[in-house]
Structures are given as C-alpha cells and as structure tokens.
C-alpha cells in the first residue's frame, strides 16, 4: 500500500522522477541540484523516504516509480473527495464550480464525460 501523504517538497521530487524516469541516481542528484538547489544528501534523503512510502524504487542506482503519476493523482483526488466531502462527488463538484467559473467548453467537456459514463452503464 502506497502512502499518498506527501508534502510539497516530496511531491515536487516525485514529479521530477516521473518526468525523467528511469533515471540514474547520479543524474537525479544533478537534476535536483539544478531545479531545487539541493545538495546530494538531501536528494538521497527524500528518495529514501519516497522509497519507504512505496512510491519509488532505487534499484542498482536506477530510480523508477512504483506508481504511475496519473494513478497517484487519481488516488489522491479520490482521497480528497472522501476526506473533505464525505465521498460525495457532486458535493465536490458543486464546491469547485462555486469558486471557479466554468467556461462553456469546460462545461461541454464535463457533460461529454457524464454522457460517456452513462452509455457504459
């Protein structure tokens, strides 16, 4: 089971790995030095923590993800709906669109997703 609780720093690091995987750990250190201004020990500490959480693996100096980026964010979104809206997707959508005006194109896209879901019932 993957621990989906990531802080902003860990999330940024995971995004770097997803963007470059498979990536050698030495190369990852260089990327993090350039993008995050990290020293080598910081990179390896965060890498170790994300490996312990079950999100990444470092095998023979090659870092890869155990959970694809899209699956991670989908599961994280589900957890937000569950925790904040008691599992109610309509309540989440209502809350979201009350603060952000949808464009007609976005409304059409959402309606198309709903229509496609209904066809698959």
* Domains of the chain listed by start with CATH number: 8-69 (1.10.10.10)
Q: What is the pLDDT of residue 1?
A: 58
Looking at the DSSP bridge assignments, the partners of residue 118 are: none
The DSSP call for residue 85 is H
d(C-alpha 16, C-alpha 71), whole Å = 16
pTM: 0.77
d(C-alpha 92, C-alpha 81), whole Å = 6
CA 58 to each of CA 41, 42, 64, 68, 99: distance values in angstroms, whole numbers, following the listed order:
15, 15, 7, 15, 41
Q: What is the pLDDT of residue 121?
A: 65
**Residue 20 contacts residue 28 (beta carbons within 8 Å):** yes
Query: What is the full per-residue pLDDT of the chain (121 aa) written as tens digits?
Result: 567 788 999 999 999 999 999 999 999 999 999 999 999 999 999 999 999 999 999 999 999 999 999 999 998 889 889 999 999 988 988 888 888 888 899 989 989 999 988 887 6
């Amino acid at each position: 089971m993957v621990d989906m609780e990531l802080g902003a720093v860990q999330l940024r690091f995971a995004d770097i790995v997803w963007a470059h995987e498979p990536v050698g750990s030495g190369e990852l250190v260089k990327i993090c030095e350039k993008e995050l201004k990290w020293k080598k020990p910081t990179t390896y500490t965060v890498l170790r923590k994300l490996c312990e959480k079950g999100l990444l693996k470092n095998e023979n100096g090659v870092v890869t993800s155990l959970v694809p980026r899209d699956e991670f964010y989908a599961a994280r979104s589900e957890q937000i709906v569950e925790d904040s809206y008691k599992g109610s997707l309509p309540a989440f959508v209502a809350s979201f669109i009350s603060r952000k005006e949808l464009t007609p194109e976005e409304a059409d896209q959402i309606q198309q997703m709903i229509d496609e879901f209904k066809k698959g019932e």
